[in-house]
Amino acid sequence: RRCYMLPFSGMNNQYVRREVFCGNTCHELKRFWEREIGKQTYYRESEEYRLGRSALRKLREEWRQRLETKLRMRNNPDETEKRANVGR
């Protein structure tokens, strides 16, 4: 006998809930879930790698630094003038 799974539709494929009907040994069921866990691990690691390579994180950091600099200049205009005069 084999294990049969019935996927529930309406969700992203990697997050599909599966009902498993197994008419054989626990070994087949264990092997099935090990493969499912392996797939989930692969999807998660792929997504983490993709996000790590993304330029979006770098852009956000640059914008955060720019905003902090502007806020600092707005909150302490005297200090900004002192820094500009030091360079002269």
Q: 41 and 63: one domain?
A: no
Distance from the Cα of residue 69 to its chain's centroid:
29
Q: What is the pLDDT of residues 40-70, one digit of tens each?
A: 999 999 998 888 888 888 888 999 999 999 9
Q: How many helical (H) and strand (E) elements, i.e. helices and strands, does the chain have?
A: 3, 2
More confident position, 45 or 19: 45
The total number of structural domains that make up the chain: 2
Q: 20 and 32: one domain?
A: yes
Q: 43 and 61: one domain?
A: no
More confident position, 1 or 55: 55
Average pLDDT in the chain: 76
Q: 60 and 48: one domain?
A: no
Residue 6 domain boundaries: 1-54
> What span, in angstroms and rounded, lies between the C-alpha atoms of 69 and 12?
41
Q: 50 and 64: one domain?
A: no
Q: 3 and 26: one domain?
A: yes
Q: 35 and 60: one domain?
A: no
pLDDT value at residue 65: 95
